Structure 1
Amino acid sequence: MPKGDRNTMRALQGLENSSPSVRLQAALAVGTNPDPQFIDKLIDRCAIEPEFYVREMLTWALTRHASSLTVPKLIDELRSERAQARSQALHTLSKIADRQAWPAITRALLTDPDDEVARTAWRTAVVLVLEGGEAELAGVLATQLGRGERETQLSLSRALIALGEAIMPTLRAAMTDPDPRVRQHAIATERLLRDPDAGFEFAIEEAKRVVALGASGQGGAGQGADR
């Protein structure tokens, strides 16, 4: 067997080794010497790799290959039934940042029932959205306001804020939503947009007070926030 073939076989086997450090080194080797024949294996491994730092190296290795080869395969992976496969494919697309992938970032992904997939889709959408599409994207993201726990809500707020002033009409509408969780999240996001140093916990607690005041009829502060 030629030396190149032996090295290829060794790297492919290394990606399946039981030792995370061996898998990490194998991914590093593949990224250092990219070869199209590794792409499928890298993507397959991303879907099942349990270690975060190894997944990051797998993603790096994929970014070292031609996007014309990796992007179509990653887009196919977005239809996987495995949540980690969808999430990691989205993450890798965000790192490649090829806007030809934008049409693949569907409403279904942006509202995926798995929080990690949805959070990754939000981040990826912000990277890939075409110029002029920010307001429409904000409208889809706003349907997720109030979703999940603090970490998920902070991810959504950051994604919305990254879209800039285009989010304001959508946020203003959400500030009057019947659901208090949606109102709180919208108000907190607006606070962070205006004052990035405020911190999310402070912003969400302040938003709770605004919503509570509005609900109790002491709503001068709440009404002012809604404008």
Structure 2
Amino acid sequence: MLIGEVSQRSGVSTRMLRHYDRLGLVSPTGRTAGGYREYTDDDLRRLFHVESLRSLGMSLREVGRALEDPTFAPAELVQELIRHTQERIAAETELLARLEGVGASSPTAWDDVLRLVALLRAFESDSGSRRQQAVLSQTESAPLPVDALVEAVLTEENAFVAGALRWSLARSGTAALPGLEAGLGSPDPRVRRRAIAALTEIRLPEATALLRRALDDGDRTARTSAALALGFRGVQEAVPVLLETIVEGRKDVEASEVLGGLADRSVPSAEIVRSVLRALDASSDPRTRLRLTQTLAEIPGDAAHDALLALTADRDRTVAATAAVALTTRRGARRA
């Protein structure tokens, strides 16, 4: 069978057949009566073998190795092809997500599309300043897609870039919440902390509801961040975690201030004072008891005043002295 007929029957162009011949992959080994080279049945079988291997994504070099090297392991080839295929799928999936994000942002002109693509590429930069600039350079006509912002918020390690991202994401309102909710379910505590930090800057009831869920987070830092944010919003459920934070000495000053604000706004001060006193009675650690006494000094109202007055007779002199100073300060503030 001559080259033209082989091309017609196999679907492989004559140009590619000649290329295979030059590479030594498939060469016609027969001869016609007139001396012309022709493809034998064995040559055709080899040609279809080559085409089958190429359809798997193999390069011509890999095909030649598979055909000629007796030590070539098919299992290794399959694993390599799997890896290449997975990488290609991941790259295509990422490209698709970006294109969908650009489409969802409804750009109004080619300039907007090009600007969005440039901003998304800037997110991949190793330079923190460039990533930050990408966030700050958004325009109303070409804002960054919310999904891209959420992904960046949940992965960004640079504090300055993360702050800019959270600011930008907060402007998206409820559109940002599904992605942040998914972040709260991440097995990585760092991702959950970033999701909580972003929710803290979204002043919506739906964001507050998500923060309530974070009060049960197994990570102390995440739990504390959620409690502080909810305390600022006047949410009573934050009180136990805030007290836990004070007892453990983690951000105890901030937690005490938040408890004082809660007592001043939304939670009866007597109720908070009772919780603090229960923690005082349950602890024998001098530093813990001192922190709780200082917390009482932040709480307004008669209940806190009476509790401090009782503590001036505490067996721990440091606690007693701190309570006395707090009472003096409170009296001075009242006179003023």
The two structures share one fold, judged by TM-score above 0.5: yes
Distance 1:144-1:112 versus aligned 2 partners, 3 A rule: farther
Assess if the C-alpha contact under 8 Å between 2:149 and 2:165 holds in 1: yes
Map residues 14-25 of structure 1 onto 2, 5 A cutoff. Answer: 14-25=122-133
CA displacement at 1:56 relative to structure 2:
0.6
Please give the residue correspondences for 1:63-212 in structure 2 after superposition, counting only pairs within 5 Å: 63-65=170-172, 67-106=173-212, 109=215, 112-115=218-221, 117-129=222-234, 133-134=235-236, 136-149=237-250, 152-165=251-264, 166=267, 167-180=272-285, 181-193=287-299
Contact residue 116 and residue 143 of structure 2 kept, 8 A? no
- Rounded Cα–Cα distance in structure 1 between residues aligned with 2:110 and 2:204: 35
**2-side partners of 1:97 and 1:3: how far apart?**
33
Instruction: Spell out, residue by residue over 1:180-211, the C-alpha distance to the aligned partner (whole angstroms, 9 max, x if none).
Output: 254332112112346xxxxxxxxxxxx9xx79
Alpha-carbon distance, 1:21 to partner:
1.2
Q: Which residue of 1 aligns with 2:137?
A: 29
Instruction: Report Cα offsets for 1:146-202 as digits up to 9, x if no partner.
Output: 2145xx2223223322312532221222221234254332112112346xxxxxxxx
**How far did 1:94 drift?**
1.8
1:69 and 1:220 map into 2 onto residues whose CA distance is: 49
- On the 8 A contact 1:142/1:171 being kept in 2, the answer is yes
* Letter matched to residue 253 of structure 2: L
Q: Relative to structure 1, is the Cα distance of residues 191 and 27 closer, same or farther in structure 2, using a 3 angstrom cutoff? A: same
SS of corresponding position for 2:174: helix
Aligned to 1:200: none
Task: Tell me if 1:11 matches 2:110.
Answer: no
Q: Is the 8 A contact 2:112 2:141 kept in 1?
A: no
Q: Number of paired residues?
A: 199
- Contact map agreement 2:212 2:230 (CA 8 A) in 1: no
Contact conserved, 1:75 with 1:104, CA < 8 A, in 2? yes
Q: What CA distance in whole angstroms lies between the structure 1 residues aligned with 2:155 and 2:141?
A: 21
Flag the 1:112–1:179 CA change in 2: closer, same or farther, 3 A: farther
When residues 179 and 82 of structure 1 are mapped into structure 2, their CA distance, relative to the original with a 3 A threshold, is farther
CA RMSD, 1 decimal:
3.3
The alignment's TM-score, normalised by the length of structure 1, stands at: 0.72
Q: Which has the larger radius of gyration?
A: 2
Gaps of 5+ in 2: 1-108, 301-307, 325-336
Structure 1, unpaired ranges of 5+: 195-206
Higher relative contact order (CA 8 A, sep 6+): 1
Quick one: distance in 2 between partners of 1:36 and 1:68?
Answer: 16
The alpha carbon displacement at 1:120 in A equals 1.9
SS in 1 for 2:160: helix
